[in-house]
Copies of this chain bind each other. A is one copy, B any other.
Protein backbone atom coordinates (compact mmCIF):
# COMPACT_ATOMS: atom_id res chain seq x y z
CA UNK A 1 0.00 0.00 0.00
CA UNK A 2 1.45 3.37 -0.97
CA UNK A 3 0.01 6.86 -1.03
CA UNK A 4 1.57 10.18 -1.94
CA UNK A 5 -0.26 13.51 -1.82
CA UNK A 6 0.53 17.19 -2.26
CA UNK A 7 -2.32 19.36 -1.05
CA UNK A 8 -3.13 22.97 -0.22
CA UNK A 9 -5.58 21.85 2.49
CA UNK A 10 -4.62 21.38 6.17
CA UNK A 11 -3.11 17.94 6.86
CA UNK A 12 -2.78 15.78 9.99
CA UNK A 13 -0.68 12.87 11.22
CA UNK A 14 -3.87 10.80 11.41
CA UNK A 15 -4.39 11.19 7.64
CA UNK A 16 -1.13 9.30 7.11
CA UNK A 17 -1.47 6.76 9.93
CA UNK A 18 -5.14 5.79 9.49
CA UNK A 19 -4.73 3.92 6.17
CA UNK A 20 -1.76 1.97 7.61
CA UNK A 21 -3.32 0.82 10.84
CA UNK A 22 -5.17 -2.26 9.64
CA UNK A 23 -2.71 -3.81 7.18
CA UNK A 24 -1.79 -6.54 9.67
CA UNK A 25 1.59 -5.07 10.60
CA UNK A 26 2.92 -4.96 14.13
CA UNK A 27 4.67 -1.61 13.74
CA UNK A 28 3.72 1.90 12.64
CA UNK A 29 6.08 4.85 12.61
CA UNK A 30 5.32 8.47 11.80
CA UNK A 31 7.08 11.78 11.40
CA UNK A 32 5.28 15.12 11.36
CA UNK A 33 6.86 18.44 10.43
CA UNK A 34 5.21 21.53 11.92
CA UNK A 35 5.72 25.21 11.01
CA UNK A 36 7.81 26.72 13.84
CA UNK A 37 7.69 30.33 15.11
CA UNK A 38 11.47 30.80 14.69
CA UNK A 39 12.73 34.41 14.86
CA UNK A 40 9.38 36.08 14.27
CA UNK A 41 8.10 33.67 11.62
CA UNK A 42 4.29 33.83 11.42
CA UNK A 43 3.71 31.62 8.38
CA UNK A 44 5.46 29.50 5.79
CA UNK A 45 4.70 29.48 2.10
CA UNK A 46 5.41 26.23 0.32
CA UNK A 47 5.86 26.21 -3.44
CA UNK A 48 6.22 23.03 -5.51
CA UNK A 49 6.70 21.83 -9.09
CA UNK A 50 3.40 20.10 -9.94
CA UNK A 51 4.07 16.73 -11.50
CA UNK A 52 7.76 16.57 -10.65
CA UNK A 53 7.14 16.78 -6.90
CA UNK A 54 4.73 13.83 -6.99
CA UNK A 55 7.25 11.87 -9.10
CA UNK A 56 9.97 12.65 -6.51
CA UNK A 57 7.77 11.45 -3.64
CA UNK A 58 6.70 8.31 -5.48
CA UNK A 59 10.35 7.51 -6.26
CA UNK A 60 11.24 7.89 -2.57
CA UNK A 61 8.39 5.62 -1.49
CA UNK A 62 9.39 3.03 -4.11
CA UNK A 63 12.98 3.16 -2.87
CA UNK A 64 11.86 2.71 0.75
CA UNK A 65 9.68 -0.27 -0.23
CA UNK A 66 12.60 -1.83 -2.12
CA UNK A 67 15.04 -1.36 0.79
CA UNK A 68 12.82 -2.47 3.66
CA UNK A 69 10.04 -5.02 4.05
CA UNK A 70 7.11 -2.65 4.42
CA UNK A 71 3.35 -3.12 4.31
CA UNK A 72 2.73 0.52 3.49
CA UNK A 73 4.10 4.06 3.16
CA UNK A 74 2.21 7.35 3.14
CA UNK A 75 3.71 10.78 2.41
CA UNK A 76 1.49 13.88 2.57
CA UNK A 77 2.97 17.33 2.00
CA UNK A 78 1.07 20.58 2.29
CA UNK A 79 1.72 23.53 -0.04
CA UNK A 80 0.61 27.17 -0.08
CA UNK A 81 0.44 29.40 2.99
CA UNK A 82 0.87 27.49 6.27
CA UNK A 83 0.42 29.26 9.62
CA UNK A 84 2.82 28.62 12.50
CA UNK A 85 1.69 25.53 14.44
CA UNK A 86 0.14 23.88 11.37
CA UNK A 87 1.52 20.68 9.84
CA UNK A 88 3.75 20.93 6.76
CA UNK A 89 4.53 17.27 6.10
CA UNK A 90 3.54 13.85 7.43
CA UNK A 91 5.34 10.60 6.69
CA UNK A 92 4.12 7.24 7.99
CA UNK A 93 5.18 3.63 7.50
CA UNK A 94 3.78 0.21 8.43
CA UNK A 95 5.82 -2.98 8.75
CA UNK A 96 5.71 -6.32 10.50
CA UNK A 97 8.62 -5.29 12.72
CA UNK A 98 9.70 -2.01 14.27
CA UNK A 99 13.21 -1.69 12.80
CA UNK A 100 11.81 -1.53 9.26
CA UNK A 101 9.05 0.94 10.13
CA UNK A 102 11.39 3.28 12.06
CA UNK A 103 14.26 3.20 9.56
CA UNK A 104 12.02 3.68 6.52
CA UNK A 105 10.23 6.60 8.20
CA UNK A 106 13.54 8.37 8.96
CA UNK A 107 14.79 7.63 5.41
CA UNK A 108 11.65 9.11 3.84
CA UNK A 109 11.76 12.42 5.70
CA UNK A 110 15.56 12.79 5.41
CA UNK A 111 15.51 12.20 1.67
CA UNK A 112 12.33 14.22 1.08
CA UNK A 113 14.22 17.27 2.40
CA UNK A 114 16.89 17.00 -0.32
CA UNK A 115 15.11 15.19 -3.17
CA UNK A 116 11.58 16.57 -3.53
CA UNK A 117 10.77 19.74 -5.47
CA UNK A 118 9.46 22.00 -2.68
CA UNK A 119 10.63 25.51 -1.76
CA UNK A 120 9.88 27.22 1.52
CA UNK A 121 9.48 30.92 2.21
CA UNK A 122 9.25 32.36 5.72
CA UNK A 123 6.87 35.25 6.38
CA UNK A 124 7.78 37.31 9.46
CA UNK A 125 5.92 39.57 11.89
CA UNK A 126 7.62 42.65 10.37
CA UNK A 127 6.05 41.86 6.98
CA UNK A 128 9.28 40.63 5.42
CA UNK A 129 9.50 37.29 3.61
CA UNK A 130 12.63 35.26 2.92
CA UNK A 131 13.28 32.10 0.96
CA UNK A 132 14.81 29.42 3.20
CA UNK A 133 18.30 28.32 2.14
CA UNK A 134 19.07 24.61 1.75
CA UNK A 135 20.99 23.30 4.77
CA UNK A 136 24.25 21.34 4.58
CA UNK A 137 23.07 19.34 7.63
CA UNK A 138 20.12 18.11 5.54
CA UNK A 139 22.51 17.02 2.79
CA UNK A 140 24.62 15.19 5.37
CA UNK A 141 21.59 13.38 6.82
CA UNK A 142 20.32 12.39 3.36
CA UNK A 143 23.82 11.20 2.44
CA UNK A 144 23.79 8.76 5.37
CA UNK A 145 21.17 6.74 3.45
CA UNK A 146 23.23 6.26 0.29
CA UNK A 147 24.06 2.66 -0.38
Q: Which residues on A are within 8 Å of B, measured CB to CB?
A: 13-14, 17, 21-22, 24-37, 85, 96, 98-99, 101-102, 105-106, 109-110, 141
Consensus secondary structure, chain A interface = mixed
Q: Do B30 and A36 touch (CB < 8 A)?
A: no
For residue A37, which residue of chain B has the nearest CB? B24
Report which of B13, B24, B28, B106 forms a contact with A102, defined as CB distance below 8 A.
B106
**What CA separation (Å) do A26 and B31 show in the bound complex?**
10
Closest residue of B by beta carbon distance from A141:
B99
Complex alpha-carbon distance, A98 and B141, angstroms: 11
Copies of the chain in the assembly: 2
Q: Are A34 and B29 closer than 8 Å at their CB atoms?
A: no
Given contacts A25-B36, A28-B30, 4 further A-B contacts (CB under 8 A): A17-B30, A22-B85, A24-B37, A27-B32
User: A26 with B33: in contact, given A13-B17, A105-B102 (CB under 8 Å)?
Assistant: yes
Q: Is the CB of A102 within 8 A of B31?
A: yes
In the assembly, what is the distance between CA of A42 and CA of B101, in Å?
23
Contact A34 B30 (CB under 8 A): no
Can you list 10 residue pairs at the A/B interface with Cβ under 8 Å? A13-B28, A21-B34, A24-B85, A25-B36, A26-B33, A28-B32, A30-B32, A31-B102, A98-B110, A106-B106
Min C-beta distance of A144 to chain B, whole Å = 10
Q: A30-B29, A36-B26 are in contact. Are A109 and B105 (CB under 8 A)?
A: no
